[in-house]
Amino acid sequence: MSSSTVVTNIAALVTNDPSLGDGSPLGLIQDAAVVIDGDRVAWTGESSKAPATDKRIDAAGRAVLPGFVDSHSHLVFAGDRTQEFNARMSGRSYTAGGIRTTVAATRAASDGELEANLTHYLAEALRQGTTTFETKSGYGLTVEDESRALRIAARHTDEVTYLGAHIVPPDHAHDPAAYVALVTGEMLDACVPHARWIDVFCEKGAFDGDQARAILTAGQAKGLHPRIHANQLSYGPGVQLAVELDAASADHCTHLTDADVDALANSRTVATLLPGAEFSTRAEWPDARRLLDAGATVALSTDCNPGSSFTSSVPFCIALAVRDMRMTPDEAVWSATAGGAVALRRTDIGRLTPGAYADLILLDAPSHVHLAYRPGVPLVSGVWRRGQRML
Ligand code: NIG
Ligand code: FE
């Protein structure tokens, strides 16, 4: 039998249900309570009206919001790239070439080392409020190494993405077409059982629009759903391709034409912005305001990986998005919770409404706005995942 718990005396409860509370997209209820029953939310509303439950927790005037949905990370890897980061901070620019360093370290690592690394970064993310995460392969780039990365990832999340098309590995540099054939053939077959999504890095120096289309449609034919690394380092066809294929998400979206923004605004494809990457590559920020004003759905995620964005912290990304990408605190919090859920085409996470998973964060602050207002401060003081208290 499941037991029920009420968290009462919440100064501000973010539900992400606009029919509740203040009627904003965050559906903010003041002086609120939330009832958890088993792994689900059973009730939300004003504290004074909360039903009787087995257990009661006093939030003591702090804020509660849905757990973060980090819909873009690369956590199956070995080694790090401290030297590359150091070189960048002394003026060198980011190129995708550094991916090769991580591919070599990942291929050389044992399954146990990869899994220990993954669980280390997951624990780190959980402490910062992430209750759902997507993660990818992409540092193996052989049939064996890609499928083992996905097998390991699938032990920890349902949101697993096959990214055999991260770069053309050095062993195939002489014949990229043969690598695309491998990615859409034998490697795809080995990876399909472990993945829900297929991704491609569509960029100069990685895969062009035609290659990306061939890779994503091959995945779709085997039942995987597309998402794309698009328009990160330069303008290109990635966003248009994402929309054409009804991809759940176009990720990065740093270099967008007006036509790209229009295409996103008139589609179901989410623009997932990854400010950790611009922070740690000293690149220009994606223009979240332009996307939001056009009516596009925006998600915010970490892109956690050892090359371009070595942060597992969604709160850090929220602070960057507010300060440097012209998002309001409300928009950034929505994008890191409900937005991530839309980017994963999920309705059971990213919101605190009856029937949704009881994934929630208690902040050591009276409002979700403090996530941006108090950057770098570890405000996450409680985490429930699927109704279980994790922190
Ligand atoms: O999303 N852009 C492609 N992939 C990663 C970076 C990977 C790396 O540098 O190791 C990204 O930023
Ligand atoms: Fe990425």
What distance in Å separates the CA atoms of residue 383 and residue 389, rounded to the nearest whole number?
6
* ipTM entry: 0.97
Q: Is 277 in the pocket of ligand 1 (CB under 6 A)?
A: yes
332 SS3 class: helix
Atom of ligand 1 nearest to the CA of 277: 12
Using CB atoms within 10 A of its CB, is residue 366 exposed (0-12), middle (13-18) or buried (19+)?
middle
- Find where tokens 């589609």 sit: 267
Spell out the domains of the chain, with CATH numbers in brackets.
4-67+350-389 (2.30.40.10), 69-343 (3.20.20.140)
- Find where tokens 């949704």 sit: 356
Backbone angles phi, psi at 341, to 5 degrees: -65, -40
Asked whether residue 71 carries a pLDDT value surpassing 70, the answer given is yes
Using CB atoms within 10 A of its CB, is residue 9 exposed (0-12), middle (13-18) or buried (19+)?
middle
- Find where tokens 């005037």 sit: 61
Pocket test for ligand 1, best of 252, 303, 310, 311 (most atoms within 8 A of CB): 303
Instruction: Express each pLDDT in 353-391 by its tens digit.
Output: 999 999 999 999 999 999 999 999 999 999 999 999 999
Which residue(s) pair with 4 in the sheet? 37
The bound ligand whose nearest atom lies closest to the alpha carbon of 283 is: 1
144 SS3 class: helix
| Beta strands across the sheet bearing 298-300 | 135-136, 160-165, 197-202, 225-230, 249-252, 270-273, 298-300
d(CA 93, ligand 2 centre) in Å: 17
Atom of ligand 1 nearest to the CA of 303: 1
Q: Output the six-digit token pair for 71.
A: 């819909």
**5, 23, 24, 21: which is closest to 13 by C-alpha?**
21
Amino acid, single-letter form, for residue 74: H
Spell out where 241-379 has E strands.
249-252, 270-273, 298-300, 360-363
First to last CA, the chain: 23
Instruction: Express each pLDDT in 193-250 by its tens digit.
Output: 999 999 999 999 999 999 999 999 999 999 999 999 999 999 999 999 999 999 999 9
What distance in Å separates the CA atoms of residue 339 and residue 51, rounded to the nearest whole number?
30
- Contacts of residue 110, Cβ cutoff 8 Å, sequence gap at least 6: none
Asked whether residue 294 carries a pLDDT value surpassing 90, the answer given is yes
What distance in Å separates the CA atoms of residue 173 and residue 286, rounded to the nearest whole number?
31
d(CA 51, ligand 1 centre) in Å: 47
Q: Is 280 in the pocket of ligand 1 (CB under 6 A)?
A: no
d(CA 254, ligand 2 centre) in Å: 12
Q: Is 311 in the pocket of ligand 1 (CB under 6 A)?
A: no
For ligand 2, an ion, list residues with CB under 5 A: 303
Q: Is 35 in the pocket of ligand 1 (CB under 6 A)?
A: no
- Give pTM, 2 decimals: 0.98
What distance in Å separates the CA atoms of residue 256 and residue 254, rounded to the nearest whole number?
6
The bound ligand whose nearest atom lies closest to the alpha carbon of 76 is: 1
344 SS3 class: coil
- Average pLDDT in the chain: 98
Query: ∠ at Cα 188 (192, 112), nearest 5°?
Result: 70
Asked whether residue 1 carries a pLDDT value surpassing 60, the answer given is no
Q: Which residues are annotated as a binding site?
A: 72, 74, 81, 139, 166, 229, 232, 303, 305, 307-308
Cα-Cα-Cα-Cα torsion 101, 102, 103, 106, nearest 10 degrees, comes to: 130
Atom of ligand 1 nearest to the CA of 306: 10
Q: Is 99 in the pocket of ligand 1 (CB under 6 A)?
A: yes
What distance in Å separates the CA atoms of residue 245 and residue 269, rounded to the nearest whole number?
9
Band (2; pLDDT cuts 50, 70, 90):
confident
Cα-Cα-Cα-Cα torsion 207, 213, 217, 218, nearest 10 degrees, comes to: -40
Q: Which residues are annotated as a binding site for Fe(3+)?
A: 72, 74, 229, 303
Q: Are 98 and 84 in contact (CB under 8 A)?
A: yes
Q: Is 338 in the pocket of ligand 1 (CB under 6 A)?
A: no
Asked whether residue 179 carries a pLDDT value surpassing 90, the answer given is yes
d(CA 326, ligand 1 centre) in Å: 24
What mean pLDDT comes out for the span 57-83? 98
Compute the residue count for the chain.
391
